[in-house]
């Protein structure tokens, strides 16, 4: 990708400053990234996206837009019972339909290995480890039972309506109450139990003079990226190329290879543009089914999930039921912090919603009891969605803190600051960099928090009640292992940086180019970034708010390796002869001795003398040891003003401000958009989003963008964002993550604002108008479900347990 961006004259002059190479890794006693101390280059400035021109012209090619010769179009048919077997499957009419060349079911699907579960190895990408179309068993309502291939999409879509299936249902668990009653398991996340017990929190709670103790509930959510999942793929012999939309090119290639019993190098996943990910764009059944069908037919295949299809095969964020209890002294100090509860999971995945993360390091309580348990249901495997654990956990925790503030008669910001810990309260690790109090104070001032009435229901304008609320935001820094980068310097003085990373809107290529330019001492237009291809070495997940840090670590390592190569090539006649990597720095298109910058040699000169057109170096990032030595998070303070209509209960967000502490911000323009984007998703979670799972059948009933509400333009006010820009001394570039923190805390900020406006406390998301004025608070859609008769088998009229259904 080539770039064109104007570099200001000041920045160009500043490139002359000499930058030492970054340290190998961050350990106690080590030095910070020298880029932090050097205020030059473009880091921290607003830089327009390098792929901007392509995107606004509609020229960025997405996965369903790669044309391949002789391509077939796929359509999926989904089962309609939550558990049991396919009894009969009539595909004759579909096979005979015009244009149809293949109907693949469990009867003729090739043998496939089960996917390796995400987390079971560094490159495992499976959301579940269920067999894929290998038998007639059904595990969730919506599981694919057939894939058709036809010459056109219209023919494939029409033919799928001709498939007729009947089922033998088996007992299933589709109600939340039944799932809990059947028994809960301790939640395990990335091999660790989600359990923290320090002191006797229940006893401390009982003894506390002030306390709150409530249950908070969040429903299922779906990512709903505007681009539906889609893959265009082709087999060349035993090699498979997928043009996909994914956040994990390398892991996906490795896992698919495993499933087909071939080597990882035989699968190549290419994904330059992802039309929204949010945790949802990984490996699901559709890619595997389409690849199996493509292999049978020997022709390229495009599979594009319909919007309904996305809901059927791609899980979302699971539902939670959380108890938060806080015991406090009269001065507000927390003597006990209890955050426990249960989440729903399918039986075949390993991604419980880790909602206790915020409570683990947010407040310096004297005692803790934090735990997540899981209850199994027949549902599509739930997966991670933006800020897993943190998004829904912060709703509960930060609502509870606000409720305690009300109980104490204390300002909620003051209450939080009084419980600001000096070190991580549950791990005991020192914080790497934490300026939360500064974020609170500066945000409060900017927002006009002083104008808020502490007593609820005091401000009215016509039909509208007005209130303000606030909440803490937090997201862990978690640079993942496995990242690598490859840098090629060419004799024209340009550099190509290659990383197996992803672009789903965070501005990856731009940020990478900014950082690489600074490290290498080049200008932005001399850097080309290539990414989104599993054939590039290394594995970098486009998620967990750590891609920038992972790339940062990889570029540091590759830079080191490159400089070592250059010093070798420079030879004995170079002014740099005899120097080691740590004695030189990059500047202005070359290297120079740190202690004596007059001893310099340009990249061009080195290559020319060595009679080379280019030099390439690749390296793996150092292990992320920093997270073992320090407690590392991005932090923020969210401020919200709402207007609640006194007649209808409709809630409108009139103002919102996010005040962040996320380390050094690399690209001010794209970071601001990431913050705002997260906040918008948080507003949706707070006010309107809910996947409607019918507990009689385990079937999602609103699989569309019309019936699942996400915020529209008019729902979103001007969102102000600000940040401390305090660099973290123990991370690449001093940066922590910005991709997910925006959604954390928003739910509580809105709920707390609604309370301030109306005196009504809502503990059950989404905060729809019926909950504001027309129901008891904390109301239980869940309690009402208890009255539901969970039906184990759907009976058609005469008691026949097998069901004839037009699939």
Q: Catalytic site residues?
A: 740
Torsion of CA 518, 520, 524, 530, to 10 degrees: -110
Judged by CB under 8 A, the chain residues 366 through 395 that form the site for other proteins are none
Judged by CB under 8 A, the chain residues 469 through 528 that form the site for other proteins are 503-507
Stretch binding other proteins (CB under 8 A), from 35-43, 512-520, 568-576, 715-723: 715-723
Judged by CB under 8 A, the chain residues 306 through 325 that form the site for other proteins are 306-307
CA angle (348 as vertex; 347, 352 as ends), nearest 5: 75
Query: Which of 371/508 has CB closer to other proteins?
Result: 508
Q: Which residue in the set 173, 255, 768, 782 belongs to the binding site for other proteins (CB under 8 A)?
A: 768
Task: Say whether residue 414 binds other proteins (CB under 8 A).
Answer: no
Buried b (16+ CB within 10 A) or exposed e, 131-158: bbbeebebbbbbbbbbbbbbbebebbeb
For the CB of residue 807, give the shortest distance to other proteins in the complex, in Å. 8
For the CB of residue 161, give the shortest distance to other proteins in the complex, in Å. 5
Q: What is the 3-class SS of 425-445, one letter each residue?
A: CCCCCCECCCCHHHHHHHHHH
Judged by CB under 8 A, the chain residues 226 through 265 that form the site for other proteins are 226-228
Compute the distance between CA of residue 95 and CA of residue 342 in angstroms, rounded to an integer.
45
CA angle (10 as vertex; 8, 14 as ends), nearest 5: 120
Q: Which residue in the set 146, 719, 738, 751 belongs to the binding site for other proteins (CB under 8 A)?
A: 719
Buried b (16+ CB within 10 A) or exposed e, 53-63: eeeeeeebebb
For the CB of residue 784, give the shortest distance to other proteins in the complex, in Å. 6
Asked if 744 and 394 count as a contact pair (C-beta separation under 8 A), the reply is yes
Query: Which of 466/679 has CB closer to other proteins?
Result: 679
Task: Say whether residue 59 binds other proteins (CB under 8 A).
Answer: yes
Helix intervals (H) in 163-317: 176-181, 201-207, 249-260, 285-297, 307-313
The two beta strands, 185-186 and 188-189, are unpaired
Stretch binding other proteins (CB under 8 A), from 290-298, 680-688, 727-735, 745-753: 680-688
Compute the distance between CA of residue 246 and CA of residue 279 in angstroms, rounded to an integer.
9
User: What is the C-alpha R_g of the chain?
Assistant: 28
Stretch binding other proteins (CB under 8 A), from 26-34, 222-230, 364-372, 622-630: 222-230
For the CB of residue 165, give the shortest distance to other proteins in the complex, in Å. 10
Task: Say whether residue 686 binds other proteins (CB under 8 A).
Answer: no
Task: Say whether residue 602 binds other proteins (CB under 8 A).
Answer: no
Q: What string marks each residue from 26 to 55 as x (binds other proteins by CB under 8 A) or -? A: ----------------------xx-xxxxx
Q: Which residue in the set 113, 114, 153, 442 belongs to the binding site for other proteins (CB under 8 A)?
A: 153
Task: Say whether residue 778 binds other proteins (CB under 8 A).
Answer: no
Record the tokens describing residue 49, joined without a space. Answer: 């996206």
For the CB of residue 339, give the shortest distance to other proteins in the complex, in Å. 28
Q: Does residue 397 have a cis bond before it (omega within 30 degrees)?
A: no
Stretch binding other proteins (CB under 8 A), from 178-186, 547-555, 618-626, 711-719: 711-719
Q: What is the DSSP track for 399-422?
A: HHHHHHHHHHT--HHHHHHHT--S
**If binding means CB under 8 A, how many residues of this protein chain bind other proteins?**
100
For the CB of residue 308, give the shortest distance to other proteins in the complex, in Å. 9
Query: Which of 18/721 has CB closer to other proteins?
Result: 721
For the CB of residue 652, give the shortest distance to other proteins in the complex, in Å. 6
Query: Which of 456/646 has CB closer to other proteins?
Result: 646
DSSP H or E segment with residue 560: helix 547-570
For the CB of residue 703, give the shortest distance to other proteins in the complex, in Å. 8
Three-state SS at 388: coil
Record the tokens describing residue 673, joined without a space. Answer: 């958009």
Query: Which of 593/788 has CB closer to other proteins?
Result: 788
For the CB of residue 155, give the shortest distance to other proteins in the complex, in Å. 7
What is the DSSP-derived secondary structure letter of residue 764?
B
Stretch binding other proteins (CB under 8 A), from 8-16, 59-67, 121-129, 560-568: 59-67
Asked if 75 and 150 count as a contact pair (C-beta separation under 8 A), the reply is yes
Query: Which of 316/362 has CB closer to other proteins?
Result: 316
For the CB of residue 587, give the shortest distance to other proteins in the complex, in Å. 30
Q: Which residue in the set 224, 349, 545, 731 belongs to the binding site for other proteins (CB under 8 A)?
A: 224
For the CB of residue 776, give the shortest distance to other proteins in the complex, in Å. 12
Q: Which residue in the set 8, 12, 16, 65 belongs to the binding site for other proteins (CB under 8 A)?
A: 65
Judged by CB under 8 A, the chain residues 611 through 670 that form the site for other proteins are 647-650, 652, 669-670
Compute the distance between CA of residue 449 and CA of residue 655 in angstroms, rounded to an integer.
12
CA angle (593 as vertex; 588, 596 as ends), nearest 5: 105
Q: Which residue in the set 29, 58, 237, 428 belongs to the binding site for other proteins (CB under 8 A)?
A: 58
CB under 8 Å to 368, separation ≥6 — which residues?
A: 196, 197, 198, 199, 201, 336, 337, 338, 359, 360, 425, 426
Q: Which residue in the set 178, 570, 657, 672 belongs to the binding site for other proteins (CB under 8 A)?
A: 672
Query: Which of 256/762 has CB closer to other proteins?
Result: 762
Query: Which of 24/151 has CB closer to other proteins?
Result: 151
Q: Which residue in the set 217, 530, 643, 676 belongs to the binding site for other proteins (CB under 8 A)?
A: 676
Query: Which of 154/238 has CB closer to other proteins?
Result: 154
Q: Which residue in the set 450, 611, 712, 798 belongs to the binding site for other proteins (CB under 8 A)?
A: 712
Q: Does residue 67 have a cis bond before it (omega within 30 degrees)?
A: no
Stretch binding other proteins (CB under 8 A), from 34-42, 357-365, 567-575, 766-774: 766-774
Query: Which of 593/781 has CB closer to other proteins?
Result: 781
Query: Which of 63/259 has CB closer to other proteins?
Result: 63
Asked if 174 and 411 count as a contact pair (C-beta separation under 8 A), the reply is no
Judged by CB under 8 A, the chain residues 80 through 109 that form the site for other proteins are 80, 97-99
For the CB of residue 136, give the shortest distance to other proteins in the complex, in Å. 18
CB under 8 Å to 276, separation ≥6 — which residues?
A: 223, 224, 225, 226, 227, 504, 505
CB under 8 Å to 800, separation ≥6 — which residues?
A: none
Which position has the token pair 């803490």?
472
Judged by CB under 8 A, the chain residues 285 through 304 that form the site for other proteins are 304
Determine phi and psi for 360, rounding to 5 degrees: -65, -30
The two beta strands, 368-376 and 334-345, are parallel
Compute the distance between CA of residue 693 and CA of residue 691 in angstroms, rounded to an integer.
6
Asked if 313 and 285 count as a contact pair (C-beta separation under 8 A), the reply is yes
Task: Say whether residue 674 binds other proteins (CB under 8 A).
Answer: yes
For the CB of residue 673, give the shortest distance to other proteins in the complex, in Å. 5
Asked if 797 and 234 count as a contact pair (C-beta separation under 8 A), the reply is no
What is the DSSP-derived secondary structure letter of residue 675?
H
Judged by CB under 8 A, the chain residues 439 through 468 that form the site for other proteins are 463
Query: Which of 51/533 has CB closer to other proteins?
Result: 51
Asked if 453 and 459 count as a contact pair (C-beta separation under 8 A), the reply is yes
Q: Which residue in the set 85, 295, 609, 709 belongs to the binding site for other proteins (CB under 8 A)?
A: 709
Judged by CB under 8 A, the chain residues 168 through 187 that form the site for other proteins are none
Compute the distance between CA of residue 81 and CA of residue 61 in angstroms, rounded to an integer.
37
Query: Which of 332/658 has CB closer to other proteins?
Result: 658
Compute the distance between CA of residue 355 and CA of residue 367 in angstroms, rounded to an integer.
18
Q: Which residue in the set 297, 710, 780, 793 belongs to the binding site for other proteins (CB under 8 A)?
A: 710
Task: Say whether residue 157 binds other proteins (CB under 8 A).
Answer: yes
């Amino acid at each position: 990708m080539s770039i064109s961006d104007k570099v200001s004259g000041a920045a160009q002059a500043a490139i002359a400053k000499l930058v030492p190479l970054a340290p190998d890794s961050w350990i106690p006693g080590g030095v910070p990234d020298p880029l932090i101390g050097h205020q030059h280059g473009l880091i921290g400035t607003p830089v327009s996206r390098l792929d901007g021109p392509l995107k606004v012209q509609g020229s960025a090619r997405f996965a369903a837009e790669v044309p391949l010769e002789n391509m077939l179009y796929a359509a999926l048919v989904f089962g309609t019972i939550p558990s049991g077997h396919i009894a009969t499957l009539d595909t004759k009419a579909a096979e005979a339909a015009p244009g149809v060349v293949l109907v693949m079911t469990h009867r003729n699907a090739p043998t496939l290995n089960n996917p390796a579960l995400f987390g079971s190895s560094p490159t495992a990408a499976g959301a579940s480890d269920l067999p894929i179309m290998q038998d007639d068993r059904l595990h969730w309502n919506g599981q694919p039972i057939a894939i058709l291939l036809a010459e056109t999409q219209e023919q494939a879509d029409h033919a799928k309506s001709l498939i007729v299936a009947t089922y033998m249902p088996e007992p299933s668990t589709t109600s939340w109450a039944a799932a809990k009653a059947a028994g809960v398991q301790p939640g395990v996340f990335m091999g660790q139990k989600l359990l923290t017990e320090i002191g006797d929190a229940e006893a401390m709670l009982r003894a506390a003079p002030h306390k709150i103790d409530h249950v908070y509930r969040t429903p299922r959510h779906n990512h709903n990226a505007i681009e539906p999942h889609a893959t265009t793929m082709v087999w060349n012999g035993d090699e498979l190329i997928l043009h996909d939309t994914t956040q994990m090119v390398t892991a996906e290639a490795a896992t698919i290879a495993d499933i087909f019993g071939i080597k990882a190098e035989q699968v190549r996943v290419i994904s330059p543009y992802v039309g929204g990910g949010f945790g949802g764009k990984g490996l699901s059944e559709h890619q595997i089914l389409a690849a199996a069908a493509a292999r049978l037919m020997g022709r390229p295949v495009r599979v594009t999930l319909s919007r309904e299809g996305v809901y059927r095969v791609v899980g979302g964020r699971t539902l939670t039921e959380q108890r938060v209890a806080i015991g406090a002294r009269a001065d507000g100090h927390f003597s006990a912090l209890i955050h426990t509860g249960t989440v729903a999971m399918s039986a075949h995945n390993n991604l419980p919603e880790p909602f206790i993360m915020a409570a683990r390091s947010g407040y310096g309580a004297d005692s803790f009891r934090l735990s997540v348990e899981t209850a199994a249901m027949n549902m599509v495997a739930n997966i991670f969605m933006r800020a897993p654990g943190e998004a829904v956990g912060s709703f509960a925790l930060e609502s509870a803190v606000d409720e305690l503030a009300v109980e104490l008669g204390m300002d909620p910001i003051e209450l939080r600051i009084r419980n600001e810990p000096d070190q991580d309260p549950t791990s005991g690790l020192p914080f790497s960099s934490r300026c939360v109090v500064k974020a609170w104070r500066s945000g409060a001032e900017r927002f006009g928090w002083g104008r808020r009435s502490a007593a609820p229901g005091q401000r009215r304008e016509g039909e509208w009640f007005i209130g303000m609320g606030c909440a803490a935001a937090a997201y862990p820094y978690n640079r993942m292992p496995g990242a690598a980068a490859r840098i090629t310097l060419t004799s024209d003085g340009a550099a190509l940086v290659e990383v197996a990373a992803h672009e789903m809107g965070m501005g990856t290529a731009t940020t990478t180019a900014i950082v690489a330019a600074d490290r290498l001492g080049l200008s932005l237009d001399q850097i080309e970034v290539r990414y989104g291809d599993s054939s590039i070495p290394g594995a970098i997940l486009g998620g967990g708010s750590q891609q920038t840090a992972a790339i940062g670590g990889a570029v540091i390592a590759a830079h080191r390796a490159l400089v070592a190569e250059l010093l070798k090539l420079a030879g004995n006649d170079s002014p740099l002869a005899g120097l080691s990597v740590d004695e030189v720095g990059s500047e202005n298109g070359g290297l120079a001795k740190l202690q004596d910058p007059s001893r310099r040699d340009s990249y061009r000169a080195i290559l020319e003398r060595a009679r080379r057109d280019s030099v390439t170096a690749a390296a793996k990032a150092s292990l992320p040891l920093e997270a073992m030595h320090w407690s590392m998070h991005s932090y923020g303070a969210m401020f919200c003003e709402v207007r609640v209509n006194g007649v209808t209960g409709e809630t409108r967000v009139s103002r919102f401000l996010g005040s962040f502490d996320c380390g050094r911000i690399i690209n001010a323009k794209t970071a601001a958009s990431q913050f705002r984007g997260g906040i918008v998703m948080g507003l949706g979670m707070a006010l309107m989003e809910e996947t409607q799972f019918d507990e009689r059948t385990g079937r999602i009933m609103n699989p569309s963008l019309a019936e699942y509400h996400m915020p529209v333009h008019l729902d979103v006010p001007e969102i102000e964002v600000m940040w401390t820009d305090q660099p973290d001394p123990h991370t690449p570039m001093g940066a922590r993550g910005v991709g997910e923190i925006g959604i954390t805390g928003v739910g509580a900020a809105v709920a707390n604002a609604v309370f301030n406006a109306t005196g009504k406390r809502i503990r059950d998301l989404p905060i729809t108008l019926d909950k504001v004025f027309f129901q008891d608070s904390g109301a239980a859609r869940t309690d009402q479900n208890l009255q539901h008769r969970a039906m184990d088998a759907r009976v058609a009229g005469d008691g026949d347990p097998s069901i004839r259904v037009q699939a």
